[in-house]
Structure 1
C-alpha cells in the first residue's frame, strides 16, 4: 500500500525488455546510434510537428533546467507557480543552469496560474535596467496539486506570455496522465496551444530513467546539445535512454500506463468519498489525489502500513480549509498499482473510519 509517489515503483516490463534487447553488440556512442536517431521521427509523428527537436536526458530536473537555460538569460526572469517543482524541488538547478536567472512564483488555487494573475504581474513590471526582464513562463502539467491546465487555459496563458515577450515551457513530468485526463492529442496540449518547449516525462510512468526535452521552436534548440554536454547530461551509451523512450512510445504503451494509473486514482477517490469525515481537496484529474482526513484516520492508516505523504494546504480552493484535527495528504497511483492494493487501502480506511 505504497502511494507515496509514482517514483517508488520499478520500470515496466516492455521498457526493461527493450534495455536488455538493445544491450548486445557495438553501436556508436553519445547518441549517434540508430535507435537514438530514430527518436526524432517517432516523436515528430506523435506530436504532429515536422521540425520538433528531441533531446533525451536521464532526469526531469535536467530536462527542466536545460530547457529553461535556452529560454532565460542570466539576467532574466522565469515566471512559475509558487509551488511549482522548478521553484521548490530542484535545489536551484534552473538558476544554476541559467547562470543566475531568477524564478518568480505566482499564487493560485490548485497549483494553477490564473490568466489575470499572469497578465497583471507582467504588465506591472518595471522595464528598465534595474529590473530582471521576464523571458519565460513555465507551467506544470499535472500541477503540484494534481490538477490539469485545459487546452483553453494553456492557450490563453501562452498568448499572454507571448504578448509580453516570454517563451513558454511545460514541465510534463506527468504529461501522459494529464493527456489521458483531458482526452486530447499531444499536439493540442502543447505547440498548438502555444508551448515552445516541453519536458516530456517518462520516469514516473514506466521508464527506468528517461525524459526528453521536446523543442517546438528550432531557434531555441540551437545551443541545447552543447548545453547538455557541458552539463554532463549526454550519456556515452545513449542507446539505453533511447531504448526506454522507444519502448515507452511503442504501441501507445505510455498512454496505456497513464490510463491505468488514472483509473486506480479514480477508484481510490470513489472509495474514500464514502468514508465519513473524508473529503477531497480537489477533483481527481490524473493519478494524484489529495484527501483531507480526520487525524485519527490518518494515524490508523499509517499504523496499518499505508505509505503516503502529508501535503501543504497553500493552494486550496476558495472556502476550503484543513481544520483542527484534520490532515491533508497526497496519494499517488502508478502504472503498476493494482486493484487489490487500492481495495486493501480502502478496507483499512473503512475499518479505521
Structure 2
C-alpha cells in the first residue's frame, strides 16, 4: 500500500468536521448572517485574547490575497520572501486581487524574513511617484521550509513595520503547526499582525480557512472585497461549522501536534541529510535520484525538491507506523 507524504492538503477530513457540517445541515440565514458565522468573531477574540473580526473563505489563496488587498493599493507593494507561497505558488493571484500591486522580494535563511532583509528591500526605494512604495509585509508562519518565527523574531519585524507605517500580514496556512512547535499562545505566534490567514484545510478541515483581522477597518473593507471576488458563499454556515469544530476542544492544536510528531520521528532518522531545521510537519532531505527511487520502490510517495532533495510532509492523520517505517527506510539508505 502506498504511504503518502506528498502534502497535508491530501489529508483526510477530521471526523469532528464532518459531524459539525451535518449538524449545520438545517435552514438558517444565508451568507454570513447565520448563527455559526456570527459566532466566529467571539471565538477568535477569545483565542487571541483581544478583539478580532474573522471571515471565512474557501481557500488559503483567497485568505492571503483578500487580506493583502485591504492593505495594499494597486500602485503599492508587499514585501515577502522570495520563496513565499504568495510569490511561488499562487499563480499571480496576489496581483489579480490587488489589481496589479507588486510583490517585493526579500532574502532570508529557511524562507524567513528579518528586519534587515525587509530593510534591504524597502530602504533603497525613493519616496516619489516613479517607484512602487511598500504598504505591507507578509511573513509565513511556519515558513515555506517549515521553520517557525519565534515571538521575539515577530516582535522585531513588527517594530520595523510600525516604524515604516506598513501593515503586517501573516500567512498561517500551517499556523497550528507553529503554535504546536513553539508551545506558546496563538497571540504570541501572530505577534504584531494586522491580519492572519489562519489555515484549517491542511490540518483536518475540508474547505474552510479564516482571515482573522486585528484591525476592524480592514475587516470592514474585506467583507466587500470577499463578495466582489466571488467568495461570499450563500451557505456560509458550512464553512463556519468546520472552523468552529476545529477550535472546539483544541482539535486544531492536537492535529498539529500529531503531524509535528510524525515529522520529528522522520527527521531523527535523517540526521546529516536535513536541509532545514524540522520545526513543523515538513522534512527537506538531501537525497540522490537513486535514493528517491529506492524509497518510492518501497511504497513512499513524496515530491522531489530540485535535483538533489526531497520534501516529505506529514499530516494530522499520518499513521505512526507509517512514519516509523519511513524513518527506518531513510536510515537504511
> CA separation in 1, counterparts of 2:245 and 2:109?
36
Instruction: For 1:160-179, list aligned pairs within 5 A.
Output: 160-179=160-179
Q: Which stretch shifts more, 295-304 or 239-248?
A: 295-304
Separation (CA, whole Å) in 2 of partners of 1:89 and 1:198: 18
Cα deviation, residue 20, structure 1: 1.2
Correspondence list, 1:89-104, <5 A: 89-104=89-104
CA RMSD between the two structures = 1.3
Structure-1-length-normalised TM-score: 0.91
Counting only pairs closer than 5 Å after superposition, residues 3-18 of structure 1 correspond to structure 2 as 3-18=5-20
Deviation at 1:217, TM superposition (A): 1.0
The residue number in structure 2 matching 1:158 is: 158
Runs of 4+ in 1 over 6 A off after TM superposition: none
Query: Matched residues in 2 for 1:200 and 1:350: separation?
Result: 35
Which residues of structure 1 form unaligned runs of 5+? Answer: 313-325
Q: Match of 1:205? A: 203
* 1:297 alignment partner in structure 2: 291
Number of residue pairs the alignment of both structures matches:
331
Q: Distance in 2 between the 1:142 and 1:69 partners?
A: 22
For the pair 1:235 / 2:233, whether they are aligned, the reply is yes
The answer on whether the counterparts of 2:147 and 2:280 sit within 8 Å (CA) in structure 1 is yes
Distance in structure 1 (CA, Å) of the matches to 2:260 and 2:111: 19
Q: 1:348: how far off?
A: 3.4
SS of the residue corresponding to residue 105 of structure 1 reads strand
- 1:346 is aligned to 327
Aligned to 1:148: 148
Residue 254 of structure 2: which of 247, 253, 256 is its match?
A: 256
Task: Name which of structure 1's ranges 302-311 and 130-139 shifts more when overlaid on structure 2.
Answer: 302-311
Q: CA deviation at 1:118?
A: 1.2
Shift of 1:350: 4.5
Output the CA distance in 1 between the equivalents of 2:329 and 2:122. 49
Which whole-Å CA distance do the structure 2 matches of 1:177 and 1:187 have between them? Answer: 14
Inter-partner Cα distance in structure 2 for 1:310 and 1:105: 24
Question: In structure 2, what is the Cα distance between the partners aligned to 1:350 and 1:118?
Answer: 39
Residue by residue over 1:269-288, the C-alpha shift from the partner in whole angstroms, topping out at 9 and shown as x without a partner, is 11233xxxx51011111111
List aligned pairs for 1:60-209, cutoff 5 A.
60-190=60-190, 193-209=191-207
- The aligned residue for residue 271 of structure 1 is 269
Contact 2:106 2:120 survives alignment (8 Å): no
SS at match of 2:269: helix
Q: Is the 8 A contact 1:122 1:164 kept in 2?
A: no
Residue number among 292, 306, 309 corresponding to 2:300 in the alignment: 306
| 3-state DSSP of counterpart to 1:290 | strand
Q: Deviations over 1:42-90 (max 9, x none)?
A: 111001112x111110100000000000000000011000000000111
The CA distance in 1 between the partners of 2:330 and 2:167, in whole Å, is: 46
Aligned residues of 2:175 and 2:199 also touching (Cα < 8 A): yes
Q: 1:140, 1:171 within 8 Å by CA — same for their partners in 2? A: yes
The answer (yes or no) to whether the contact 2:265–2:327 under 8 Å persists in 1 is no
How far apart, CA to CA, are the structure 2 residues paired with 1:211 and 1:133? 29
Q: Is the 8 A contact 2:269 2:328 kept in 1?
A: no
The aligned residue for residue 337 of structure 1 is 318
Q: CA deviation at 1:347?
A: 3.6
* TM-score normalised over the length of structure 2: 0.96
Residue 9 of structure 2 aligns to a residue whose secondary structure is coil
